[in-house]
């Protein structure tokens, strides 16, 4: 038997998502800056190195698939790989170069292996991007962890993941927009 969902439950589900999802649109300038910087790194031969805590590990692999196997005809594949963990910082030290991009993901604040890896990546000269959840629902900034970060202001891990999925799809799209602009214009960024 399929459970019945009431109109009230559906309205509440949408209400929990409205503010965190709308906040991404207000971050448009920050998203564009991150994508421009990422396109620059790809243009210089960099690769996207993605990793996530337990709840975000599969999402990290999904990000890689998006970049290396674009589903839109005419979009070029961009080099990317996911770190299996658990010691992402050590793997960054072994596998990444200063031209690469480190993208760390967590449904909560950046702690443990994700935080340590992003700090190691910054120290090694990688561009750092973080997709995090706020944990308590309030917007927070973690400047010591990532140069570009997008914090979903929700303590519901499902809402955080949904907004993060949208965020990394937008990152993929805009990185290609900047890369195509550079290719067509023959100009470096």
Nearest to 78 by CA among 105, 103, 57: 103
Structure tokens given for 22: 């709308």
- Does position 183 have pLDDT exceeding 70, yes or no? no
Name the phi and psi angles at 127, rounded to 5.
-75, 135
Q: What is the pLDDT of residues 51-105, one digit of tens each?
A: 999 889 999 999 999 999 877 777 889 999 999 989 999 999 999 999 999 999 9
CA-only gyration radius of the chain, Å: 17
What CATH number is given to the structural domain containing 142?
A: 3.40.50.10490
Q: How far is the C-alpha of 146 from the C-alpha of 131, rounded, in Å?
A: 9
Could you tell me if residue 1 is inside a domain? Answer: no
Q: Domain range spanning residue 91? A: 7-185
Q: What pLDDT score was predicted for residue 165?
A: 95
Nearest to 21 by CA among 133, 166, 141, 144: 166
- Does position 142 have pLDDT exceeding 90, yes or no? no
% of the chain surpassing 90 pLDDT:
65
Please say whether the beta carbons of 75 and 102 come within 8 A: no
Could you tell me if residue 146 is inside a domain? Answer: yes
Q: Which residue has the higher pLDDT, 110 or 49?
A: 49
At 189, the pLDDT band (50, 70, 90 cuts) reads very low
Could you tell me if residue 168 is inside a domain? Answer: yes
At 143, the pLDDT band (50, 70, 90 cuts) reads confident
Could you tell me if residue 2 is inside a domain? Answer: no
Could you tell me if residue 41 is inside a domain? Answer: yes
Domain count, the chain: 1
């Amino acid at each position: 038997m399929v459970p019945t969902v009431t109109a009230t439950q559906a309205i509440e589900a949408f209400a929990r998502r409205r503010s965190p999802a709308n906040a991404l649109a207000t971050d448009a300038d920050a998203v564009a800056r991150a994508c421009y910087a990422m396109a620059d790194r790809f243009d210089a031969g960099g690769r996207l190195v993605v990793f996530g805590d337990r709840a975000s590990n599969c999402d990290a692999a999904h990000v890689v698939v998006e970049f290396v196997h674009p589903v839109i005809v005419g979009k070029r594949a961009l080099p990317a790989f996911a770190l299996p963990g658990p010691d992402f910082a050590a793997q960054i030290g072994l596998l990444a170069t200063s031209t690469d991009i480190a993208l760390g993901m967590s449904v909560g604040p950046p702690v443990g292996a994700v935080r340590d890896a992003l700090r190691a990546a910054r120290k090694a000269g990688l561009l750092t991007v973080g997709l995090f959840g706020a944990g308590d629902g309030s917007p927070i900034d973690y400047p010591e962890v990532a140069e570009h970060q997008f914090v979903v202001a929700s303590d519901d891990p499902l809402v955080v993941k949904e907004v993060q999925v949208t965020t990394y799809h937008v990152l993929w799209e805009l990185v290609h927009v900047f890369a195509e602009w550079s290719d067509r214009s023959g100009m470096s960024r």
